[in-house]
Amino acid sequence: NAGVTQTPKFQVLKTGQSMTLQCAQDMNHEYMSWYRQDPGMGLRLIHYSVGAGITDQGEVPNGYNVSRSTTEDFPLRLLSAAPSQTSVYFCASSWQGTQYFGPGTRLLVL
Amino acid sequence: AQKITQTQPGMFVQEKEAVTLDCTYDTSDPSYGLFWYKQPSSGEMIFLIYQGSYDQQNATEGRYSLNFQKARKSANLVISASQLGDSAMYFCAMREGGRNNNDMRFGAGTRLTVKP
């Protein structure tokens, strides 16, 4: 049981590039979410999904897209990276309201 | 409006002593959940403890306990017998609504340093 996995661990992008952050969980949790963590601001919710085929926006959704075609996978897409998206990104899956986090992806946008 | 407030950016504690990390929250929903997570320097987020708004007793998990004062809207984390490995960032979080609502909001965190 690997829990929540994220790839890559670290990524450098140039402004305007696009990329997808991968997230997968093997706990059969219906709920998954993406957060970003910036210094001094804690974690902020970007997007979440309550099950396959269902997604919704969180607190800071602009510049990000998500899809949920399977229960296991919940990728986060940056359409056109901006320096303001430099952050650490955490994926989480949830069971009865408690969220379990992946190891994070550190993203640097130049 | 800020829903979760952690007023202590940093805290120091002597090894083997107890320490309290403060957390206050704001909600008008009668049903909510309160959580504490630990983030060591390696970066992962580790779930520590949960308190439901209707729970009659304060939650405890080993050396961690949650001092839940509903009327004051506070949910302080108490770590007893601090260990060097407790040095980390600690985040308080709240989920409004029942267990099926998974939208969680986090505080800014408190950095705890345990001194030998």
* Calpha distance B67→B36 (Å, rounded): 12
Cβ(B17)–Cβ(B82) under 8 Å?
yes
Confidence of residue B99 (pLDDT cuts 50, 70, 90): low
Q: What share of chain A is helix, strand, coil (3-state, %, to 5)?
A: 5, 55, 45
Cβ-defined contact of B102 to A101 (cutoff 8 Å): no
Token pair 């890559």 is found at A8
Report pLDDT digits (tens) over B28-63. Answer: 999 999 999 999 999 899 999 999 999 999 999 999
Give the per-residue pLDDT at B37.
96
* Calpha distance B116→B108 (Å, rounded): 26
Report pLDDT digits (tens) over B59-89. Answer: 999 999 999 999 999 999 999 999 999 999 9
Most B CBs within 10 Å, among A6, A23, A27, A98, to test the B interface: A98
Contact of B84 with chain A, judged by CB distance below 8 Å, is answered with no
Q: In chain A, whose CA is at the least distance from the CA of B42?
A: A103
- Round the average pLDDT of chain A to a whole number and report it: 93
* Calpha distance A70→A80 (Å, rounded): 25
Residues of B in contact with A40 (CB under 8 A): 108
Residues of B in contact with A104 (CB under 8 A): 43-45
